[in-house]
């Protein structure tokens, strides 16, 4: 496009657009953000906006569409969700004071990982942006949430699978790739596929090669403090330094301000937390359910009794990062235990927490300059609650509660400042006026008095002029053209003083102005403009004073969030009848009357049957669990894993008692399906997961395996399953505590062949041809899979069930089953299966015969799932 022919404004637009070619430019014009040319075509399509045009100096008008600036967040959110980035171009000077074209520039670029707007963020989830740099010796990983001010970093030593596990902990929405990860090839392609398909995040471009060691040496100490970095020992982590520095520069380029929020670096090691990869998180349904992908029905749903957004985010972090230190776990349990034992204290803390706003995201918006007056006022409301919250913990004995009492800054001075400065009910926007409270600034009060008293002044002048001139119907009016004027009818024109200046002649009157009137008019107009300017100056001054207390407020927010999670754990433990676990390094997992925390809440039609668990490092390392489908094998194994995980995040557990040894990782292979995105079959997915488990697990891990080998032929599957058990059982190779559910009854012979293997099964009670699953785990192997009984329970027609019984007896006798087609016995016509759309079909008849009173919802789901696998 020949820009020299464009109008001056369009030339300015094109110059700014040149700097952000790959972004949709929101160009501020008055009260609207306008988009032009290709951006307008894209935005009108994606946002369903009316496409118009604007003269631009060319023969054809420029395509144009726009959105109101005060409601732009909703439109930006939709564009971000659709995969676009948005550049915000603002007017950099007051249009009234500008000479010629108003100066404009991009003040911020909104990307998936740099969202600050509250309505675009999930309250209980962090929005991380990640920076990954691969070099010799490992991967540098840096994560930041600019909406809360959190910065975390670690250096991953290991293969790309370890890197994926670390990414799974944070689930970033945007990622920068550098070093060997940005050089092309299978490593980058595989990681990009993982980021897009498994995490659903965007990979943004950034030139890591421009980040030098010198820049790292200057930028990082300036951002986080030289003394802090020395304590964190970053000197031997060059990859991490580059990842951090690149992330800060990217945020500086896109946000241009507000990086002071990122003032504390949490440098952690992967050895501090349990290894939980995405497969384990998904199979155990820690954050969301497998089928519906929602929070309800997950472990997080059970545990979340928090009252603050900060607490919700911290709880999720703890669930995804269980601790490995018995000391830290015990300190958390002590805090939960004290609240558990003192229900009055717990209730008072919960009541105080219910009035606390999201301090972390609130402060980020204040620092970035995006906070509305109401948001600034909510900071005061929250600060007013902190003294009460702190006072409640004065008599506590648990160290973590004592730490909160000691370190919680009640922010009295901040609350006092905002309380004196901001109106009790401020408007949403600063431009609406009335933000600053009366009495805060004398100059502002005088200006307001002048404006509010204008009517009185005008009335006084009008009365005085009538008396002085003798014009009885003299009146003072106002219009936007002349301002204030004196109106005199023609019958009194001879009484008009010479000091009056004629401004307008009408049919039956004349309009005049006086020096006194113009002086008052100027004062009123000037005062109105001054009020707006002074209010903005005072508001920015108050905001600046609040920003000086950023570190104090962030620290208090973190302590409030921690207390909120402790209260949440105590509340769920009380309502669920949980017990305090004993956590150590003994290598033993012993659970008495354990219950699945989610299932017992979701399935209320039948009481949950509790079970015991015992695993150790010697004779009880591997539990082989046999029994029919839908009897509870998977629930039992998941229950064990969740109880261990709950203990290691510092929560009480659903059991009568629990003595639990620390596990360094939970690895699961539970269920599988075809991975269409990579062209992998069910069996390939299953074997890939098993291979990763055998490579990553250690002797201190807990492994959950469900139905290994069922995706291939019987003999192949059984051979693979046995080989996997033998490998895990071998202490020289692995020797990890393992729960292995299988339908291969032949594997029960391993109890005699391998040390540390024990058989268990689900107790079953027969009543004639009917079967009742007792859901009780007992020693020994199962004597039957009861597949035919499950099929009958699911409503399979009687002829199919009868024929299956004949075939089963033939197979058990060692005979090949006869062809049902060639040797079909004569059967009554009524017994034939006729599938048709009629009310008297066999399928409809069988459905009517199902006893719904004895078929629970969970049992029905399990039956249908098993039937699908059998088919």
- Per-residue confidence band for 5, with pLDDT thresholds at 50, 70 and 90: confident
- CA distances to 92, 183, 261, 421, 814 from 180, rounded to whole Å, are 41, 5, 30, 53, 59
**Residue pair 117/76 in contact by the 8 Å Cβ criterion:** yes
Contact (CB, 8 A) for 750 and 739: no
CA dist list (Å): 720 to 538, 688, 691, 711, 713:
73, 13, 12, 11, 11
Residue 626 has pLDDT above 50, yes or no: yes
Helices 515-547 and 454-469, axial angle in degrees (round to 10): 170
Average pLDDT, the chain: 86
Residues facing residue 770 across a β-bridge:
767
417 pLDDT higher than 90: yes
Cβ atoms of 309 and 358 closer than 8 Å:
yes
Cβ pair 130, 152 in contact under 8 A: no
- What's the confidence (pLDDT) of residue 833? 41
Q: What is the mean pLDDT of residues 657-667?
A: 96
Q: State what percent of residues in the chain have pLDDT above 90.
A: 57
Confidence band (pLDDT; 50, 70, 90) for 628? confident
175 pLDDT more than 60: yes
Write out pLDDT tens, residues 441-490.
Answer: 999 998 888 888 777 888 888 999 999 999 999 999 988 778 899 999 99
Sheet architecture: strand order including 138-145: 202-204, 174-179, 129-135, 138-145, 150-156, 265-267
Measured CA to CA, the distance from residue 652 to residue 657 in angstroms comes to 10
pLDDT in tens, 792-840: 666 678 777 777 777 766 766 666 555 544 444 444 444 444 444 444 4
User: How much is the pLDDT for 726?
Assistant: 93
Provide CB contacts within 8 A for 657, sequence distance 6+: 579, 590, 591, 592, 593
- For residue 11, the surrounding DSSP H or E stretch is helix 8-19
Question: H or E segment at 368?
Answer: helix 359-368
How far is residue 325's CA from residue 259's CA, in Å, rounded to a whole number? 33
Q: What is the DSSP letter of 273?
A: B
Is 633 flagged in the annotation as binding? Answer: yes
Q: What pLDDT does 187 receive?
A: 74
Confidence tier at 677 by pLDDT (50, 70, 90) = very low
Q: Is the pLDDT of residue 259 over 80?
A: yes
What percent of the chain shows pLDDT beyond 70? 87
Identify the DSSP state of 181. Answer: G
In whole angstroms, how far apart are CA 579 and each of 246, 320, 367, 824? 47, 22, 44, 60
- pLDDT for residue 843: 43
Of 689 and 248, the structure prediction assigns the larger pLDDT to 248
Structure tokens at 418: 């905002």
Which contacts qualify for 82-87: CB closer than 8 Å, 24 or more apart?
Answer: 82/46, 83/202, 84/23, 84/24, 84/42, 84/46, 85/22, 85/23, 85/24, 85/109, 85/110, 85/111, 86/23, 86/24, 86/25, 86/26, 86/110, 87/20, 87/23, 87/24, 87/25, 87/26
In angstroms, rounded to a whole number, what is the distance separating the alpha carbons of residues 790 and 771? Answer: 9
The reported pLDDT for the residue numbered 834 is: 41
Check the annotation: does 628 bind a ligand: yes
Predicted local confidence at residue 2, as pLDDT: 59
Q: Per residue, what are the HEC states of 587-656? A: CCEEEEEECCCCHHHHCCCCCCCCEEEEECCCCCCEEEEECCCCCCHHHHHHHHHHHHHHHHHCCCECCC
The tokens for 184 are 């092309």
pLDDT digits 0-9 by tens, 290-339: 888 899 999 999 999 999 999 999 999 999 999 999 999 999 999 999 99
631 among annotated binding-site residues: yes
CA–CA dist 679, 685 (Å, integer)? 10
Alpha helices in 439-514 (DSSP H): 442-452, 454-469
Mean pLDDT of 613-636: 89
Strand, helix or coil for residue 445: helix
58 versus 556: the higher-pLDDT residue is 556
Token output for 138: 């490992």
Say if residue 843 is exposed, middle or buried (CB neighbours under 10 Å; 0-12, 13-18, 19+). middle
Contact between residue 799 and residue 782 where contact means Cβ atoms under 8 Å apart: no
Does 627 belong to an annotated binding site? yes
- CA dist 354 and 471 (Å) reads 66
Q: What is the pLDDT of residue 296?
A: 93
Q: Which residues touch 461 (CB under 8 Å, ≥6 apart)?
A: 476, 516, 517, 520
844 pLDDT above the threshold of 90: no
- Confirm whether residue 53 is marked as ligand binding: no
Q: What residues have CB less than 8 Å from 15, skipping those under 6 apart?
A: 3
Contact (CB, 8 A) for 175 and 202:
yes
For the residues 761-770, what does the mean pLDDT come to?
Answer: 71
- Residues 55 and 7: their CA atoms lie apart, in Å, by 8
| Strand-pair category, 202-204 with 174-179 | parallel
pLDDT-derived band at 162, boundaries 50, 70, 90: confident
Residue 632 marked in a binding site: yes
- If 0-12 CB within 10 Å is exposed, 13-18 middle and 19+ buried, where does residue 786 land? buried
Model confidence at 866: pLDDT above 90: no
Confidence of residue 640 (pLDDT cuts 50, 70, 90): very high
For residue 573, pLDDT beyond 60: yes
- The answer on whether 497 is annotated among ligand-binding residues is no
The pLDDT of residue 423 is 94
pTM confidence score: 0.84
10 Å CB burial of residue 177 (0-12, 13-18, 19+) is: buried
pLDDT of residue 43: 95
Least confident of 506-520, 590-604, 790-804: 790-804
3-state secondary structure of 237: coil
User: Residue 158 in 3-state DSSP?
Assistant: coil
State yes or no: pLDDT of 756 exceeds 60.
yes
- Residue 746 is classified by DSSP as G
Between CA 448 and CA 249 the distance in angstroms is 45
Structural domains of the chain in order of their starting residue, each with its CATH number: 3-110 (3.40.1170.10), 118-272 (3.30.420.110), 329-411+549-575 (1.10.1420.10), 442-539 (1.10.1420.10), 582-779 (3.40.50.300)
How far lies 450's CA from each of 447, 455, 489, 626, 658, in Å? 5, 10, 30, 87, 74
What is the Cα–Cα distance from 778 to 512, expressed in whole angstroms? 105
Please give the structure tokens belonging to residue 13.
């637009």
Q: How confident is the model at residue 252 (pLDDT cuts 50, 70, 90)?
A: very high
Output the pLDDT for position 300: 97
Q: Which residues pair with 106 in a beta bridge?
A: 89
Lowest mean pLDDT among 36-50, 445-459, 553-567: 445-459
């Amino acid at each position: 496009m020949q820009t020299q022919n464009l109008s001056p404004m369009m030339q300015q637009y094109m110059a700014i657009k040149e700097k952000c070619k790959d972004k949709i430019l929101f160009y501020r014009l008055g009260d609207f953000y306008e988009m032009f040319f290709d951006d307008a075509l894209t935005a009108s399509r994606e946002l369903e906006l009316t496409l118009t045009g604007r003269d631009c100096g060319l023969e054809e008008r420029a395509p144009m569409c726009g959105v109101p600036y005060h409601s732009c967040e909703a439109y930006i959110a939709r564009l971000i969700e659709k995969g676009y980035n948005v550049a915000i171009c603002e007017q950099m000077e007051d249009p009234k004071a500008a000479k010629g074209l108003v100066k404009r520039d991009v003040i911020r670029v909104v990307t998936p990982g740099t969202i600050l707007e509250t309505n675009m963020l999930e309250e209980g989830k962090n929005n991380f942006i990640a920076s990954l740099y691969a070099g010799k010796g490992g991967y540098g990983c840096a994560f930041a949430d600019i909406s809360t001010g959190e910065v975390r970093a670690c250096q991953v030593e290991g293969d790309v699978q370890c890197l994926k596990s670390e990414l799974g902990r944070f689930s970033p929405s945007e990622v920068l790739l550098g070093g060997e990860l940005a050089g092309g090839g299978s490593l980058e392609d595989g990681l990009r596929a993982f980021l897009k398909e498994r995490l659903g995040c965007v990979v943004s471009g950034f030139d890591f090669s421009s980040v030098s060691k010198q820049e790292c040496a200057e930028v990082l100490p300036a951002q986080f403090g030289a003394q802090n970095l020395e304590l964190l020992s970053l000197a031997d982590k060059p990859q991490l330094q580059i990842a951090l520095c690149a992330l800060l520069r990217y945020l500086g380029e896109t946000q241009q301000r507000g990086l002071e929020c990122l003032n504390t670096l949490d440098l952690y090691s992967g050895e501090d937390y349990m290894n939980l990869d995405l497969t384990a998180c998904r199979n155990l349904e820690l954050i969301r359910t497998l089928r519906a992908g929602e929070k309800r029905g997950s472990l997080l749903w059970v545990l979340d009794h928090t009252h603050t957004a900060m607490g919700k985010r911290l709880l999720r972090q703890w669930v995804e990062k269980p601790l490995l230190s018995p000391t830290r776990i015990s300190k958390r349990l002590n805090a939960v235990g004290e609240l558990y034992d003192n229900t009055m204290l717990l209730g008072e803390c919960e009541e105080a927490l219910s009035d606390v706003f999201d301090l972390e995201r609130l402060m980020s918006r204040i620092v970035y300059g995006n906070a509305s007056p109401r948001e600034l006022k909510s900071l005061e409301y929250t600060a007013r609650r902190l003294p009460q919250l702190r006072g409640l913990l004065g008599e506590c004995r648990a160290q973590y509660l004592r730490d909160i009492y000691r370190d919680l800054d009640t922010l009295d001075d901040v609350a006092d400042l905002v309380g004196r400065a901001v109106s009790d009910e401020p408007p949403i926007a600063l431009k609406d006026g009335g933000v600053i409270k009366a009495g805060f600034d004398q100059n502002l009060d005088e200006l307001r008095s002048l404006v509010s008293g204008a009517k009185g002044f005008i009335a006084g002048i009008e009365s005085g002029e009538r008396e002085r001139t003798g014009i009885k119907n003299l009146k003072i009016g106002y219009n936007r053209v002349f301002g204030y004027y004196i109106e005199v009818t023609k019958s009194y024109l001879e009484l008009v003083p010479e000091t009056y200046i004629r401004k307008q002649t009408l049919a039956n009157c004349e309009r005049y102005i006086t020096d006194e009137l113009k002086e008052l008019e100027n004062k009123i107009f000037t005062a109105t403009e001054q009020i707006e300017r002074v209010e903005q100056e005072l508001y920015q001054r108050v905001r600046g004073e609040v920003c000086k207390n950023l570190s104090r407020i962030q620290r208090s927010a973190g302590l409030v969030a921690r207390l909120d999670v402790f209260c949440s754990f105590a509340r769920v433990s009380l309502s669920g009848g949980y017990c305090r676990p004993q956590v150590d390094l003994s290598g033993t997992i012993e659970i008495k009357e354990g219950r699945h925390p989610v299932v017992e809440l979701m399935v209320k039609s039948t009481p949950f049957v509790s079970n015991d668990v015992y695993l150790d490092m010697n004779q009880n390392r591997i539990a082989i669990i046999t029994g029919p489908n839908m009897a509870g094998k998977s629930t039992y194994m998941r229950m064990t894993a969740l109880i261990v995980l709950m203990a290691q995040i510092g929560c009480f557990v659903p059991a009568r008692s629990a003595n639990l040894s620390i596990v360094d990782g939970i690895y699961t292979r539970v269920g599988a399906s075809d991975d269409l995105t990579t062209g992998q079959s069910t069996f390939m997915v299953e074997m890939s997961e098993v291979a990763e488990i055998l490579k990553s697990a250690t002797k201190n891990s807990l492994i959950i395996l469900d139905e290994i080998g069922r995706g291939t032929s019987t003999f192949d599957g059984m051979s693979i399953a046995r080989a996997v058990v033998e490998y895990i059982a071998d202490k020289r190779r692995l020797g990890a505590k393992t729960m292995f559910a299988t339908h291969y009854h032949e594997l029960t012979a391993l109890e005699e062949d391998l040390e540390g293997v024990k058989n268990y099964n689900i107790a079953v009670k027969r009543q004639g041809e009917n079967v009742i699953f007792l859901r009780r785990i007992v020693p020994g192997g199962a004597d039957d899979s009861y597949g035919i009984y499950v099929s009958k329970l699911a409503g399979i027609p009687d002829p199919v069930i009868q024929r299956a019984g004949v075939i089963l007896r033939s197979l058990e006798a060692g005979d090949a089953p006869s062809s049902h087609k060639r040797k079909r016995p004569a059967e009554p016509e009524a017994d034939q299966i006729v599938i048709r759309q009629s009310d008297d079909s066999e399928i409809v008849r069988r459905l009517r015969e199902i006893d719904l009173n004895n078929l629970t919802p969970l049992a029905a789901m399990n039956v249908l799932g098993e039937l699908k696998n059998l088919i």
